[in-house]
Amino acid sequence: MARKKRQVILPPTFVGAQPSNPGASAPGGSVANHVGPILEGFTVSAAGAMKIADDAARVAYLGSLSALAGILEQEAITVRNERGGAQGSHIESLQEDIAARSVLLGRKTADLELQQTLANSYYGSSPFGKSAQEYAHSTFKNIATGLIKITSAQEALNAAYRAAYMVQLREAEIQMLQAQIAALQQALNTAQEQLRAEAEAQARAQAEAEAAARAQAEAEAAARAQAEAEAAARAQA
């Protein structure tokens, strides 16, 4: 009895790339299948990473803020020495103090802009108040675009927090310097007004003394003239 031959049906072949079957995934899985676990991992680690960055930066900020007045005074002294301002009158000293703080104000304002840029480097905005999801997506994006390496993600976040707190410190410094300059300017105006008043009083006193001296001289001259006239009259009598 002859065996019945089995019929083998081969799949169709195509010229060029094989079309994908509906619902089939790309080799190795979809991109979403890879990104999802990574984002989840970053989300889980977000709270710890942000706390590390915030704690260290905040301690440094609070330390500088508590000593702000003394720090600015020392910086102003340094600027005065750089300018070579010699100790002179009270007015000159006030003018030097204003000039030194104005220089400091310009430096702090310029650095404020730099610190704002650094603070925005991780998220594109300030790191304060960011959620775990925002941390996860920003971290993934920064690594994917080559902005940071995964091994340096924490340090990059630390730098953003340091800069963000430095922005607050610079703003406090600028506010204090502006208040100091305003107070010094008021003191300078008062000192200059007092100096003008003293100069005017001295000028009046000198004018009065000179007028009195002239009057005395005129009186003495008149007395001498009268005495001479009387003497001449007696001589003729």
Torsion angle, alpha carbons of 207, 210, 212, 218, to 10 = -140
The DSSP H or E segment spanning 40 is helix 31-66
Best CA proximity match to 215, nearest among 200, 227, 223:
223
Sign of CA dihedral 142, 145, 147, 151: positive
Q: What's the CA gap between 156 and 150, in Å, rounded?
A: 10
Q: pTM for the complete prediction?
A: 0.70
Domain positions in the chain are 39-217
* Length of the chain counted residue by residue: 237
Please check the confidence at residue 221 and state whether its pLDDT lies above 90: no
Structural contact between residues 132 and 46, judged by C-beta atoms closer than 8 angstroms? yes
CB-side exposure of 174: number of CA atoms within 13 Å?
14
Report the helix count and the strand count for the chain, using DSSP H and E: 5, 0
**pLDDT tens across 45-71, in order?**
989 999 999 999 999 999 999 999 999
Q: What is the pLDDT of residues 151-207, one digit of tens each?
A: 999 999 999 999 999 999 999 999 999 999 999 999 999 999 988 888 878 888 888
End-to-end CA distance of the chain: 198
* 3-state DSSP assignment of residue 195: helix
Please report which confidence band the pLDDT of residue 234 belongs to, taking 50, 70 and 90 as the band edges. confident
